[in-house]
A = this chain, B = another copy of it.
Amino acid sequence: MTQPTSLSALNERIAAVNDVLNAASVLTWDSRTMMPEGGAETRGHQIATLTRVARDLLLAPETEKALEAAEQAVEGLSEDAAERRIVLQTRHAVEHHRRVPASLIQERAALRTVAQSAWIEGRSKSDFSIFAPHLAKTVELSRAYADCIGWTEHPYDAMVSIYEPGETAASLKALFAKLRTGILPILDAARSRPAPRSDFLFRDFPEEGQRAFGLTLAEKLGYDFGRGRLDTTVHPFEVSFTRNDVRITTRYSRNYLPASMFGTAHEVGHGLYEQGVDPAYTRTTLATDLVGLYGVGGTSFGAHESQSRLWENHIVRSPTFWRLHFPELQRHFPDQLGDVSAEGFYRAVTRVEPGFIRVEADELTYDLHIMLRVDIECALMDGSVPVSDLPGAWNAAIKRDLGLDVPNDSKGVLQDVHWSTGYIGSFPTYTIGNVMGAQVMETLRTQNPSLDGAIEAGEYSVLAQELRTRIWQHGRRFMRDELLERETGRRLDPAPYLAYLQGKYAQ
Contact = CB atoms under 8 A, between A and B. Distances in A.
Interface in A6-63: 15-16, 19-20, 22-24, 26-27, 30, 34-43, 45-46, 48-50, 52-53, 57
B49 A225 contact: no
Contacts of A245: 35-36, 38-39, 42-43
Contact of A244 (B20, B39, B227): B39
Contact of A19 (B50, B225, B226, B229): B50
27 contacts: A15-B45, A16-B49, A19-B48, A19-B50, A20-B46, A22-B46, A23-B23, A23-B27, A23-B46, A23-B50, A26-B26, A26-B27, A26-B46, A30-B30, A34-B34, A34-B229, A35-B245, A38-B224, A38-B226, A38-B227, A38-B244, A39-B242, A40-B244, A41-B244, A42-B241, A45-B283, A46-B241
Main secondary structure of the interface of A (DSSP, over half): helix
Interface string A327-363: 0000000000000000000000000000000000000
A59 to B, nearest CB: 14
Contact of A26 (B30, B38, B48): B30
Nearest to A41: B244
Contacts of A52: 16
Nearest to A15: B45
B53 A241 contact: no
A227 B50 contact: no
3 closest A-B pairs by CB? A39-B245, A38-B227, A19-B49
A391 interface: no
Contacts of A227: 36, 38-39
Interface of A: 15-16, 19-20, 22-24, 26-27, 30, 34-43, 45-46, 48-50, 52-53, 57, 224-229, 241-242, 244-245, 282-283
A283 B40 CA distance: 14
Given A16-B53, A38-B245, 6 more contacts: A19-B50, A20-B46, A23-B27, A34-B34, A34-B229, A36-B228
B42 A283 contact: yes
A499 to B, nearest CB: 39
Contacts of A48: 19
A244 B30 CA distance: 14
Contacts of A36: 225-229, 245
Contacts of A27: 23, 26
A224 B35 CA distance: 13
A242 to B, nearest CB: 4
A31 to B, nearest CB: 9
B20 A50 contact: yes
Nearest to A227: B38
A241 to B, nearest CB: 7
A457 B277 CA distance: 60
From A224, A245, A283, name the one whose CB has the most chain B CB atoms within 10 angstroms: A245
A341 B37 CA distance: 40
B39 A241 contact: yes
Contacts of A37: 226
A19 B49 CA distance: 7
Contacts of A15: 45, 49
Contacts of A53: 16, 20, 53, 57
A277 to B, nearest CB: 12
B42 A22 contact: yes
Contacts of A26: 23, 26-27, 30, 46
A22 B43 CA distance: 9
A160 to B, nearest CB: 31
A430 B48 CA distance: 36
A133 to B, nearest CB: 29
Contacts of A50: 19-20, 23
A26 B35 CA distance: 10
A25 to B, nearest CB: 10
Contacts of A244: 38-42
A486 to B, nearest CB: 28
Nearest to A37: B226
A42 B282 contact: yes
A462 to B, nearest CB: 23
Contacts of A46: 19-20, 22-23, 26, 241
A52 B19 CA distance: 11
A49 B16 CA distance: 6
A201 to B, nearest CB: 32
